[in-house]
Amino acid sequence: MIPGFEAIVEERIRKAQKKGQMDNLPGEGRPLPVEEIDPSNEFRLAHKILKNSGFLPPEVELRKKIFSTEQLLSSVASDTPEQARLQKKLTFLMSRLNMTRNSAATSALPSRYRNSIINRMS
């Protein structure tokens, strides 16, 4: 944050609290919504601005598509062409999500192989 800016913000918040402007706000007493974006991400602010403008990062879009595909897959009867199609789509979406992550190589490996590789490398 800009030096000195934080002090100005804090002062304005204190004045608003004294005037009662912070009372009875929507959502008072409830936890703040959890951000969908990793807080350690250096592009967090840019992602938040884009989200507020109606745009989502590709990873979040993929997660939403994966979730909806999983929901559809759970509602489809077993051993049908529709189930096979949805399973292929889900596999494709998961592969794309893994490619967007920094740790794609490790997240795509089964845990037993990943642990073996980590042990050999250390």
**Confidence (pLDDT) at 114:** 65
3-state DSSP assignment of residue 3: coil
Between residues 6 and 112, the one the model is more confident about: 6
Residue 120 covered by a domain? no
Residue 44 covered by a domain? no
87-116 pLDDT, tens digit per residue, is 999 999 988 888 876 544 444 555 666 667
Residue 91 covered by a domain? yes
39-76 pLDDT, tens digit per residue, is 666 777 777 777 788 777 678 788 889 999 989 988 88
**Confidence (pLDDT) at 98:** 82
3-state secondary structure 35-95: CCCCCCCCCHHHHHHHHHCCCCCHHHHHHHHHHHHHHHHHHCCCCCHHHHHHHHHHHHHHH
Between residues 26 and 83, the one the model is more confident about: 83
Residue 41 covered by a domain? no
Residue 90 covered by a domain? yes
**Confidence (pLDDT) at 107:** 47
**Confidence (pLDDT) at 106:** 45
Asked if residue 99 lies in contact with residue 107, where contact means CB atoms within 8 angstroms, the answer is: no
Residue 64 covered by a domain? yes
Asked if residue 37 lies in contact with residue 31, where contact means CB atoms within 8 angstroms, the answer is: no
Domain count, the chain: 1
Residue 118 covered by a domain? no
Distance (Å, rounded) from C-alpha 48 to C-alpha 113?
36
Which domain does 95 fall in, by range?
58-103
